[in-house]
Copies of this chain bind each other. A is one copy, B any other.
């Protein structure tokens, strides 16, 4: 019960949670076997039953653990949203990169979306919580951040919620298929996808104030 023991137990718990997340995600709840989780975690089966009474308890703990990590990461990324007109395109592009890289295309993001699809019907309240804390919070927060930019007359937006969803959708447009198939985009792909998304978003919602200082003319600015 002293420090060292606590640390040892905690390490075991985390090891089990990580291994269980891995196996549950790859196999789904039904096909995942406790023995395999124990093997991946380098832990005996009994230890798992010692920490989590049964398979379902372990599953719920895993989902909640990943959800907490993902929520914290989303909060962190949201705090990097650009707030001024200076280099708005670059600012939004960087934000889109971080959003994809750390929240949507990363391990936890893929894990949660997959689990929601496979086990969502069996644990409605669990994943309803995720929907509110994850994508729901993202849309709400992004909507408010876009409203701030619109207030500064950098953007012209009639419906902030719609614009927020569209921003996320555009940011994912080029990566959706890859992540659906389990792939992880490279930095170049992340950058390119974000740039494509932000360019289109600004063509639709940007004002002249939003253009880069010395930026080259864009398609939206062709004259004559």
Contact = CB atoms under 8 A, between A and B. Distances in A.
B174 A203 contact: no
Interface string A124-156: 000100010001000000000000000000001
Interface stretch (A14-22, A26-34, A48-56): A26-34
Contact of A170 (B31, B170, B221): B170
Given A156-B219, A166-B196, A166-B200, A177 B30 contact: no
A121 B220 CA distance: 42
A123 to B, nearest CB: 12
This chain: copies in complex: 2
Interface in A22-74: 26-31
Nearest to A139: B177
A166 B170 CA distance: 6
Given A166-B173, A203-B220, A117 B121 contact: no
A11 interface: no
A-side interface size class: 35 or more
A202 to B, nearest CB: 9
A204 interface: yes
A51 B156 CA distance: 60
Contacts of A121: 26, 182
A162 B192 CA distance: 10
B220 A159 contact: no
A169 interface: yes
Contacts of A12: none
Interface of A: 26-31, 113-114, 116-118, 120-121, 127, 131, 135, 156, 158-159, 162-163, 165-166, 168-170, 172-174, 176-177, 180-182, 196-197, 200-201, 203-208, 219-224
22 contacts: A26-B121, A28-B118, A30-B30, A113-B117, A113-B180, A114-B118, A117-B180, A120-B180, A121-B182, A135-B177, A162-B173, A162-B200, A165-B173, A166-B197, A166-B200, A200-B204, A201-B204, A203-B205, A205-B219, A208-B222, A219-B220, A222-B223
